[in-house]
Structure 1
Amino acid sequence: MKSSNFLIVESDAARADAVSSALAFMGYRPVQAGRMQPEEAAEGWRGAWVGTVEDETELEGYLAALGRQARNLPMLVAADSPIATALIADDANQNVELIDMPLRYERLQEALRALQARVQPPAQSNLRFVGQSGPMQRVNALIRQVAPFDSSVLVLGESGSGKELVARTIHDCSPRRDKPFVAINCGAIPAELLESELFGHEKGAFTGAISTRKGRFELAEGGTLFLDEIGDMSLPMQVKLLRVLQERVFERVGGNRAQRCDVRIIAATHRDLEGAIERGTFREDLFYRLSVFPLEMPALRQRLEDLPALIAEFNQRLVQRGLSSVRFTPSAMNALCQHTWPGNVRELSNLVERMAILMPQGDIRAADLPEKYRGAVAVEEVTGAALIAMMEAEPEITETFRYGGEDDPSVLPQGGLDLKDHLAGIEIGLIRQALDSANGVVAHAAKLLRVQRTTLVEKLRKYGLSEAAQAG
């Protein structure tokens, strides 16, 4: 990869080979300065190793060939380098990490990630979460804090609240952003197959293993592995996963060769893991291994002030797919704020798409929402709409309404009434009048009633009036 070039400035041939091998194992492309070709100088550079160099002039000569890329280039400097002190003392270059010799892989890995986090801090633009509510501001702040480090993260929250999006955002804001993000749902794969999915298998390891296959740990090498619904993993599989997390070594199913892995683990679950530990269905040691940095995703009902921003975001996505955006009236928004949202953001996304299909151009009122979303707000809106329509209807009805005749719908009878049935009766009467005026043509009747054709069709089905309508 051209963007992974790493300059090696080292006169000790044995040390240069050792550093090159370690960097190559980590996914970089080491280029020894003395062998650098002119065309390579213009390629992307991720950093430089500075070892046995007699003076700064020699280093400056190599860096000059890189042009502008040499400015603030991250540097790994051997602690015993003759120019180490000068580089550390240079206030203009803050991107320096000292490496003690002999070279240790773990320290090299740690220094590289520290440099990458310093040079390319997580950008706020990478944060994908919509909304400015207090709970979401806290989530975004926690993501910024944990992203630069390799600490394991446990994302908690209800189904549909956006746990996988948290994991992807952490990955995108981390130094591992150029490496794979691999997700696996531990609850969707049978227990007997999960080991093969995670660790891979050798040819002939079991019936149906017709070829060698890499597992998710191998596919995510250098990047992030997202273990979704970790609470559904079986106890025997939890034991095997714990060993890999502790030792960073695994074996393919049917194999006997240990393989090292370099992945960041992010797990998620909607289950109460502490309760599962008490019931004996989840290992306590695995819980503490995963929850180095717990992050809880708020439910949508806890961040209702984000509804307008979320709807605007979903509208943008619908337009990109060729659908129309939707417009919710204030009464509809009030009704949505009364809903409990058991399906969280995923449920809201589905509702917006459904309404975009049913009412592509009109304003969506509370009465137009599916029944479970209407709440008490829809009753007020239906009453107001019915009365306004009556004022515009037949003169006889209008006069009755104005002067409070014995059938005045605005006067509560002495014995009370069933409000739902009463309003339905008013609505049925108005629909029948509109159909009569439009000679049964639904499209024309919908215009008279100021509703979408699809809305009127739904009401005709609801009240059993379809036979009184004609196609159109």
Structure 2
Amino acid sequence: MTNRILLVEDDPGIATVIVTALEDEGFAVDTVDGIAARDVRLAGEPYAVMLTDVMLSDGDGLATLPALRDRHPAMPVIVLSAQNTLDTAVRASDLAAFEYFPKPFDLDELVRAVRQAAGQRAEPGDVPIDESGEGLPLVGRSRAMQGVYRMITRVLRNDLTVLILGESGTGKELVAEAIHQLGHRKSGPFVAVNAAAIPHDLIESELFGHEKGAFTGAIAQAIGKFEQANGGTLFLDEIGDMPLEAQTRLLRALQSGRIRRVGGRQEIVVDVRIVAATNRDLVPMIAAGTFREDLFYRLNVVPIELPPLRERRDDIAALARHFLGQAVGEGLPRRRIEPDAIAALERFAWRGNVRELRNAIYRLALIAREEAIDAATVEAVLGTPESVAGDGRAQGFAGALEAWLRVAPMREGQLYHDALAQFERPLLIHALVETGGNQLRAARLLGINRNTLRKRLTDLDIDPDGCLRRD
């Protein structure tokens, strides 16, 4: 088999580094800087592997891959890109790229991939392509997120069980949604269930459904989440909070592909892809006997670990602008964020991760007096990083109220009503989020009657299902 490599790269510096590394490994490397020159080279002798950048001087290297693959169906293609988004990684996966490397890349890892590709030529095959890029929920181009994107692309064409690990607020549900929306089950349902938000005595009924009369209050048959997700993806959030008895039944369902409703006798075949998530360390829970070891190994087929925001500070600017756009779409005033405000945001600890940043941006959009959000506005509304780290003054509703009072107009006889108008809506949403959308528990948390809560949700046009927090 030939050891010739074709490198399509218009950055001379990067090309020199790659050529030197591959020639040291015994490969013969030809280099071109664009699509036209690439096609001329490919018209001659075959190449073992092609490496290509995405944004080339004369076009999009990815966009031309389908036609290229028609002419060279067995040649593995390794994609290099500075456009480090989930969209780019997914496009490379959809086009059956052998591997995808975001820039900057690990040179040793790239060389290993070339060696592997040269010895394992790709098999031709039709792969569905979705170039729209619409609905991709993850934001960020940091190096820390590139490993996440690459792992997501590796599970899109199979049904391997995925376990998403990460601190609260890092975006675990968004990753689960991306796996579903971009994968081959996207035409099926995506059903999410939060094990921490369901009373332990009801979790089996929630997962597997129940028959009429199965227990007190079971006045009708209910279809569980497994059946609702049939043909699609079932996302089991906060799996570490699931009681042991339910873990046993879950394991049986995963092993057999069959479930039985509570109180039922008939086994029901279900076809679901399982994605689970937790912010807890399951290994010590196994040692303590609170999480089943066999269930852990069943779930931990493909682990994806999400970095905390403090390890991806390069993404704060993109996330802040993204959340500002969302805030405008939800009816908050149009704002723009200045560079010094971004710099100020990058100094915060963000213990609540992306979710905390999102809440802070919404707070800034709501409270800021001017269209431009600058560093002074950040300090006035959120406090300084030191004060937040020291006493949590800018955290939660108490901090938000304090920040609002510093900038709010003091209209005599109106302060109570103004404050209520500013904070009632986010307070109700917060209560729903904390209780997983359970209105009875939310009302208890707030200390109000359930009917009062329902009326206020209607008056404020709050959708209880649409405002749930995404981990």
TM range (shorter): 0.5 to 0.7
Alignment of 1:104-183 (within 5 A): 118-121=126-129, 125=133, 127-183=136-192
- SS at 1:177's partner residue? coil
Alignment of 1:6-85 (within 5 A): none
Asked if the contact 1:339/1:373 (under 8 Å) is kept, the reply is no
Q: Return the offset for 1:322.
A: 2.5
Asked if the contact 2:350/2:356 (under 8 Å) is kept, the reply is yes
Report the equivalent of 1:375.
385
Q: 1:458 aligns with which of 394, 398, 406?
A: 406
Query: How many equivalent pairs are there?
Result: 279
TM-score by length of 2: 0.55
Partner Cα separation in structure 1 for residue 321 and residue 382 of structure 2: 22
Asked if the contact 1:122/1:148 (under 8 Å) is kept, the reply is no
Asked if the contact 2:382/2:403 (under 8 Å) is kept, the reply is no
Report the equivalent of 1:228.
237
- SS at 2:179's partner residue? helix
Report the equivalent of 1:294.
303
Report the equivalent of 1:420.
none
Asked if the contact 2:204/2:246 (under 8 Å) is kept, the reply is yes
Partner Cα separation in structure 2 for residue 307 and residue 119 of structure 1: 34
Asked if the contact 2:360/2:382 (under 8 Å) is kept, the reply is no
The alignment's C-alpha RMSD in Å is: 3.0
Change (3 A) 1:193 1:361: same
Partner Cα separation in structure 2 for residue 349 and residue 372 of structure 1: 13
TM-score by length of 1: 0.55
Q: 1:308 aligns with which of 297, 310, 317?
A: 317
Query: What are structure 1's unaligned runs of at least 5 residues?
Result: 1-90, 95-113, 379-453
Report the equivalent of 1:193.
202
Partner Cα separation in structure 2 for residue 168 and residue 460 of structure 1: 39
Asked if the contact 1:326/1:363 (under 8 Å) is kept, the reply is yes
2:302 is the counterpart of 1:354 = no
Change (3 A) 1:122 1:173: farther
- SS at 2:276's partner residue? strand
Residue identity over aligned pairs, in percent, reads 49
**CA distances 1:393-436 after superposition (whole Å, capped 9, x unpaired):** xxxxxxxxxxxxxxxxxxxxxxxxxxxxxxxxxxxxxxxxxxxx
**CA distances 1:162-214 after superposition (whole Å, capped 9, x unpaired):** 00000010001111100100000011101110000000011111111111111
Asked if the contact 1:331/1:366 (under 8 Å) is kept, the reply is yes
Asked if the contact 1:368/1:455 (under 8 Å) is kept, the reply is no
Alignment of 1:280-429 (within 5 A): 280-359=289-368, 361-369=370-378, 370=380, 373-375=383-385
- SS at 1:187's partner residue? helix
Q: Return the offset for 1:361.
A: 3.0
- SS at 1:294's partner residue? strand
Partner Cα separation in structure 2 for residue 362 and residue 268 of structure 1: 38
Name the stretch that deviates more: 155-164 or 117-126: 117-126
Report the equivalent of 2:121.
none
Report the equivalent of 2:85.
none
Letter in 2 for 1:217: F
- SS at 1:155's partner residue? strand
Query: What are structure 2's unaligned runs of at least 5 residues?
Result: 1-69, 74-95, 97-124, 389-401, 416-471
Letter in 1 for 2:243: S
Change (3 A) 1:460 1:229: closer
Q: Return the offset for 1:372.
A: 5.5
Name the larger-Rg structure: 1
Letter in 1 for 2:406: E
Partner Cα separation in structure 2 for residue 166 and residue 208 of structure 1: 36
Asked if the contact 1:335/1:377 (under 8 Å) is kept, the reply is no
Partner Cα separation in structure 2 for residue 328 and residue 175 of structure 1: 38
Letter in 2 for 1:291: N
- SS at 1:227's partner residue? strand
